[in-house]
Structure 1
Amino acid sequence: MARHLYSCPLRWSDMDAFGHVNNAVFVRYLEEARIDFMFRLAPGEGSESFQGGSVVARHEIDYLRPLVHRHEPVTIETWVTKVGAASLTVAYEVKDADQVYVRASTVVVPFDFDRGRPRRITAEEKMFLEEFRDDADPAAPDAGGRRGTAKEAVAV
């Protein structure tokens, strides 16, 4: 199982009046990491996997500690926890080497915008997603007492 790593820059405008990254901004961070994962790493040269579009059906976010503006980017680790016939669940940790700021998940539905309806996940997409699949609950502690640790990471 591999995990996708996305280096996300922090912007001055991401902060709120309390001096930390606003909770709504984290949704944009997750979107950036998910799009980088699904579109940039889509399988096959010239593949049309994930190119037809997708919609978000659900977000679930646990805010664990405040993140303040700095010049160094934050790492967003992304992996897949579920692949269904017409949906998938992407899990994330927004983190540094020594701490996790946010744990989240998103249910994504591939969508055919020409027909105006959801579509099934193709065999090629499923094969790609399975490379990044980890059924473990990202909120459950591992043997070392840490939560959601990576077994293998793919940096881009």
Structure 2
Amino acid sequence: MRHVFQCPLRWSDMDAFGHVNNVVFLRYLEEARIDFMFRLAREAASPGAFTGGSVVARHEIDYLRPLVHRHRPVAIEIWVAKLGGASATVAYEVRDEETLFARASTVIVPYDLEKARPRRLTEEERTFLTRYCDDEAGSASAA
């Protein structure tokens, strides 16, 4: 299953070449990831999910088509591509009905803010993330 986040575009997202700047894509992915992990997970799993924090260990983005400013949002589909004991890789597609603009992935590591070190996924976090495991690149379902 995939979660779909509708991300609004801002005029300031554009660069001198007339399309959304590559760095802005990271902000879009962050907005989708925050919605997924901190809103959806807490609503679906429990209020304690991901409250200890998490950090980004790696980003990877393939830019496929230029994205230009428009008034309708762009859809960011997010799902879990890999689940480990102390990390998860989330994958994304930035798209609309006609066009796939980018594919990306982020390795996230749960983090204990008080101890200032990585931690293992809790059982409730793992249960939530498992529901969004999707290794079929072509299938999408809104959550």
| Identical positions, percent | 66
The aligned counterpart of 2:74 is 74
Match of 1:126 in 2: 126
In 2: Cα distance, 1:31 partner to 1:85 partner: 22
Q: Which residue of 2 is the match for residue 152 of structure 1?
A: 141
- Tell me which residue corresponds to 1:24: 23
Matched residue, 1:145 = none
Distance 1:21 1:112 in 2: 34
| Distance across 2 between alignment mates of 1:106 and 1:44 | 21
Please give the secondary structure, in 2, of the residue aligned with 1:29. helix
* TM-score, length-scaled by structure 1: 0.87
Q: TM (normalized to structure 2)?
A: 0.95
Find the residue that maps to 1:13 and give its secondary structure.
helix
Aligned counterpart, 1:114: 114
CA distance in 2, matches of 1:120, 1:3: 23
> How many residues get paired?
141
Distance in 2 between the 1:152 and 1:51 partners? 27
Q: Offset of 1:149 from its aligned partner?
A: 2.2
Distance 1:151 1:8, change over 3 A: closer
1:48 aligns with 48
Q: Judging by fraction of residues, say which structure has more helix.
A: 2
- Residue 91 of structure 1 and its aligned partner are, at CA, apart by 0.2
Alignment gaps of 5+ in structure 1 = 137-147
| 1:14 counterpart residue number | 13
Q: Give the letter aligned to residue 28 of structure 2.
A: Y
Deviation at 1:151?
4.2
Partners of 1:70 and 1:41 lie apart in 2 by 27
Kindly indicate whether the alpha-carbon contact (under 8 Å) linking 2:9 and 2:74 is maintained by their aligned counterparts in 1: yes
- Indicate the RMSD between aligned Cα atoms, in angstroms: 1.0
Where does residue 58 of structure 1 map in the other structure? 58
- Cα distance change, pair 44–80 in 1 and its aligned pair in 2 (3 A): closer
Residues 58-90 of structure 1: per-residue CA shift (max 9 Å, x gap): 000000000000101000000001110100000
- The one-character-per-residue Cα deviations of 1:84-117 (angstroms, maximum 9, x if unpaired) are 0100000000000111000000000000011010
Unaligned runs of 5+ in 2: none
Within 2, Cα distance between the matches of 1:33 and 1:86?
A: 21
